[in-house]
Amino acid sequence: MTETLDANSIIERRACVTGVGQSDIGRRLGIDPLELTLDACIAAIEHAGLTPADIDGVATYPGPMAVPAGFSGAGAYDVIDAMRLSVGWYGGGLETSGQLGSVINACLAVASGLANHVLCFRSVWEGTAQGSKGRSAVMPGSGGSGSFKASGFTEWTLPFSAPSAAVWIAMFAQRHFHLYGTTREQMGWIAINARRNAALNPKAIYTDPMTMDDYLGARMIATPFGLFDCDAPCDGATAVIISRVDRAKDLRNTPLRIEAVGSALRGRPSWDQFDDLSTMATRDAGAQLWTRTDLKPSDVQMLQAYDGFTFLTMSWLEAMGFCKVGESGPFVEGGERIARDGVLPLNTHGGQLSAGRLHGYGFLHEAAIQMWGEGGARQIPNNVEVGAVAAGGGNTCGCLLLVKE
Amino acid sequence: MSDTPTVPFRILPKLTDANREFWQGGQDNELRFWRCQDCTQFIHPPQPICPSCYGKNLRVEPVSGRATLTTYSINHQPWMPGPELPYVVAIIEIVEDPSVRLTTNLVDCDHADITIGMALKVQFEHHSDTDGDVWLPLFAPELGAAQ
């Protein structure tokens, strides 16, 4: 775990981000999810200055899934076939280091020479798939039928009327509150920061200003989470091109080299059996990242970190060493450090809380947009040469360090 | 506490040979877990080998039913039919082995009195079902325990 690696072993450094693309994003677009996915993929290829013939790898998370409704808009095979791609490597699946696990896999694929340019994508259509009935309506067994039985990991939560990640992650936050004195007022700055950034993002879902009173006054979901601690399900797809650095030299954008990745899981892969219920595999992925680079957290000029729930961003801040363990509350309090002009601009597109639950890939997209200076009204004033991206929570966590050279 | 307790709607677990003793132990008022007979490791959720010594000499044993509150959330969201809102979802660790945890509900407890680390005792909520009855292990503050 702590052995020193020689630089040649850190092969993700042979990979870089060369283009990003995004479909339309909305609460309920009513568009075929494969079409949304392909819109993002084609946009990313074009943005990189490549053609579909250059794409020889495909990576996605989580692959095709019928349940929960809208959780996956397309799988790798769907895109390979629809675009008639010819690939040297491809992969999609849920059992990896969070949504960015698929990007990490792509980095390894290009570094090993199995592919030169990997099209990575994540698409969701939870808004349309869940309809106007709300998330409750899509919970398994919610029709009240006595015939549905819980099995697999839901066996241990569904019988206790705890069907949602909101409840599971709320319990991690509650333990953090207990151990470190973290407060709702501190956590609220994650949501408020996201909303003020979303106001400058033309694709964001929620852009109305949010005050601390708005945040605290919202209805409770599962303590300590209120409504504004939870992200906004939507329709939308994001695609990212991962290229090998030797193939990226003459493309449209300055390559964003992958300096290091974190993919570790060192506790039990479980929401309730994980060893320390005040942290998550964020701890493991974050720690691993810094064993693979000479850079330090103080070198990072921007963080795009998962906010499916506010507490997850706080967990990443601690896990990646931007503050000490237990001190994410004071770190974000007041919202100055994490503002666009602060020491660590955070979730500059509005995160999933306000810009929509694009599920992990939205953070990588935003990191690239900022590092390429394409952020428009929400552009970070300082030139960002080192950026960090983190996605996931619970036992499924991954992170990346990007360097613009 | 209601004067006329009713059993809320629950999605019940699919019973298997591996989990039946856990979900039906309440019939005998017992909380039960698999345990390695070679190295004494408690095992939860059930799995075919001991995670410590990889042995297969496993048996189900009752524990005291006493536990400690690790964390909790007071749930206000009507995700599905279930207990009256708001209800408390909790993670507890059994006193015999704090690495063995259950997600459960905290019951018979004023929400203002909930404290992480408080001592708890199991009680069972019986559900009749044509696929086999289930006794859900719920937890309440342990009477007489210093909180």
Chain segment A358-401, per-residue pLDDT in tens? 999 999 999 999 999 999 999 999 999 999 999 999 999 999 99
Token reading at A214: 């708005």
Please give the angle made by the CA atoms of A348, A51 and A373, to the nearest 5 degrees: 25
Strands A117-125 and A57-60: what pairing? Answer: parallel
Q: What angle do helix axes A310-319 and A165-180 make, rounded to 10 degrees?
A: 50
Q: Which of A142, A148, A155, A184 is best to mutate for the B interface (most B CBs within 10 A)?
A: A155
What pLDDT does residue A145 have?
Answer: 53
* CA–CA distances in Å: residue A34 to residues A54, A103, A275, A339, B46: 21, 20, 39, 35, 39
Widest pairwise Cα distance in chain A: 61
Q: Which of A161, A176, A223 is best to mutate for the B interface (most B CBs within 10 A)?
A: A161
What pLDDT does residue B144 have?
Answer: 78
Backbone φ and ψ for A194, nearest 5 degrees, come out as: -60, -45
Q: How far apart are CA A23 and CA A44, in angstroms?
A: 10
Please give the angle made by the CA atoms of A192, A295 and A310, to the nearest 5 degrees: 20
What pLDDT does residue A3 have?
Answer: 64
Distance from CA of A362 to the nearest CA of B (A): 27
- Cβ–Cβ gap B79/A139 under 8 Å: yes
Q: How far apart are CA A156 and CA A175, in angstroms?
A: 20
Distance from CA of B68 to the nearest CA of A (A): 13
**What confidence tens digit (pLDDT) does each residue in A114-161 have?**
999 999 999 999 999 988 665 554 555 555 556 899 999 899 999 999
Distance from CA of B99 to the nearest CA of A (A): 7
What pLDDT does residue A67 have?
Answer: 86
Inter-chain Cβ pairs, chain A and chain B, closer than 8 A = 126
Q: Does A53 have pLDDT greater than 60?
A: yes
Q: Could you write out the DSSP letters of every residue in B42-108?
A: EESS--SS-TTT----EEEEEE--EEEEEEEEEE-S--SS-SSSSEEEEEEEETTEEEEEEEEEE-S
Q: Which of A148, A224, A272 sits opposite B91 (nearest CB)?
A: A272
Closest CA to A52 of A19, A20, A88, A84: A84
Q: Which of A156, A167, A168 sits opposite B45 (nearest CB)?
A: A156
Distance from CA of A130 to the nearest CA of B (A): 13
- Cβ–Cβ gap A159/B12 under 8 Å: yes
Q: How far apart are CA B108 and CA A5, in angstroms?
A: 54
For chain B positions 17-46, those within 8 Å of chain A (CB to CB) are: 19, 44-45
- Cβ–Cβ gap A175/B82 under 8 Å: no
Q: Does A1 have pLDDT greater than 70?
A: no
Q: Which of A158, A170, A175 sits opposite B11 (nearest CB)?
A: A158
Token reading at B20: 């039946």
Q: Which of B77, B104, B116 sits opposite A166 (nearest CB)?
A: B77
Chain A residue numbers with beta carbons less than 8 Å from the beta carbon of B125 are none
Beta bridge partners of B58: B36
Q: Does A227 have pLDDT greater than 90?
A: yes
Q: What ipTM was reported for this prediction?
A: 0.96
- Cβ–Cβ gap A277/B82 under 8 Å: no
Q: Does A197 have pLDDT greater than 70?
A: yes
Q: How far apart are CA A185 and CA A169, in angstroms?
A: 18
Contact, B4 vs B78, CB < 8 A? Answer: no
Chain B residue numbers with beta carbons less than 8 Å from the beta carbon of A139 are 79-80
**What confidence tens digit (pLDDT) does each residue in A15-47 have?**
999 999 999 999 999 999 999 999 999 999 999
* Cα-Cα-Cα-Cα dihedral sign, residues A197, A201, A203, A205: positive
Mean pLDDT for A163-191 is 98
Distance from CA of B27 to the nearest CA of A (A): 17
Residue with tokens 């008022």: B29
Nearest CA in chain A to B131: A147
* Ranges of residues in chain B whose predicted pLDDT is under 70: 1-5, 146-147
What pLDDT does residue B2 have?
Answer: 44
Q: How far apart are CA A259 and CA A83, in angstroms?
A: 31
**What confidence tens digit (pLDDT) does each residue in A257-296 have?**
999 999 999 999 999 999 999 999 999 999 999 999 999 9
Contact, A165 vs B28, CB < 8 A? Answer: no
Closest CA to A189 of A165, A221, A214: A214
The reported pTM is: 0.96
Q: Which amino acid is at A210?
A: M
What pLDDT does residue B85 have?
Answer: 98
For chain B positions 53-112, those within 8 Å of chain A (CB to CB) are: 70-83, 86-87, 89-91, 99, 101-105
Q: How far apart are CA A85 and CA A251, in angstroms?
A: 20
- Coil, helix or strand at residue A300: coil
Query: Among residues of chain A, what percentage have pLDDT more than 70?
Result: 96
Contact, A278 vs A175, CB < 8 A? Answer: yes
**What confidence tens digit (pLDDT) does each residue in A112-124 have?**
999 999 999 999 9
Q: Could you write out the DSSP letters of every residue in A74-106?
A: --HHHHHHHTT---SEEEE-SSSSSTTHHHHHH
Q: Which of B12, B103, B116 sits opposite A156 (nearest CB)?
A: B103
**What confidence tens digit (pLDDT) does each residue in A293-338 have?**
999 999 999 999 999 999 999 999 999 999 999 999 999 999 999 9
Residue length, chain A? 405
Distance from CA of A192 to the nearest CA of B (A): 22
Residue A305: its H or E element: strand A303-305
Q: Does A181 have pLDDT greater than 80?
A: yes
- Cβ–Cβ gap B91/A224 under 8 Å: no
Q: Which residues of A touch B (CB under 8 A)?
A: 135-136, 139-142, 144, 146, 148-151, 155-164, 166-168, 170-172, 174-175, 178, 219-225, 271-273, 275, 277
Distance from CA of B98 to the nearest CA of A (A): 10
Domains of chain A: 10-130+231-404 (3.40.47.10)
Q: How far apart are CA A222 and CA A171, in angstroms?
A: 9
Contact, A102 vs A92, CB < 8 A? Answer: yes
Please give the angle made by the CA atoms of A117, A123 and A126, to the nearest 5 degrees: 175
Q: How far apart are CA A276 and CA B136, in angstroms?
A: 25
CB-based burial, A201-215: b 16+ in 10 Å, e otherwise: bebbbbbeebeeebb
